């Protein structure tokens, strides 16, 4: 599946959620589904700096594609990480680098997440 196709699925998913509460709940549910990692996974080198909560990210290159795994110490950031993994995991590096992450704005994160939390999603990409 292409980056564009993944982004469209996510945008459609959030478009049917009419309130901020529903969007928060959806992110929290995504966070609950993200597999918990061991304490060994939660190393300082995997920690995403600048996030309001602690979020750890690991990227692995397999067959020229990048695969992500993440964990967090709170459900909302875990859900945000799960969402980013759904979009970016399994893509070629050039696809990720050339992405403008416009889908984050298209689903309205800047209106229902604090600026720090919305920025955390962009920090995920930078890491």
User: Known catalytic residues?
Assistant: 51
Which helix or strand (DSSP H or E) is residue 53 part of? none
Instruction: Please give the Cα distance from 69 to 66 (Å, whole number).
Output: 10
Distance CA 89, CA 92 (A): 9
Candidates 23, 39, 35, 40; CA nearest to 117 is 23
Contacts of 120 (CB under 8 A, 6+ apart): 48, 50, 51, 52, 53, 55, 77, 80
């Amino acid at each position: 599946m292409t980056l564009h196709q993944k982004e469209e699925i996510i945008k459609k998913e959030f478009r049917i959620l009419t309130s901020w509460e529903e969007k928060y709940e959806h992110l929290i549910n995504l966070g609950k589904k993200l597999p918990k990692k061991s304490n060994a996974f939660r190393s300082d080198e995997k920690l995403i700096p600048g996030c309001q909560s602690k979020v750890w990210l690991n990227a692995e290159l397999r067959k020229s594609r990048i695969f992500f795994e993440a964990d967090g110490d709170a459900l909302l950031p875990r859900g945000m990480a799960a969402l980013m993994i759904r979009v970016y995991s399994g893509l070629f590096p050039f696809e990720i680098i050339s992405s403008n992450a416009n889908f984050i704005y298209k689903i309205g994160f800047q209106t229902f997440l604090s600026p720090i939390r919305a920025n955390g999603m962009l920090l995920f990409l930078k890491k």
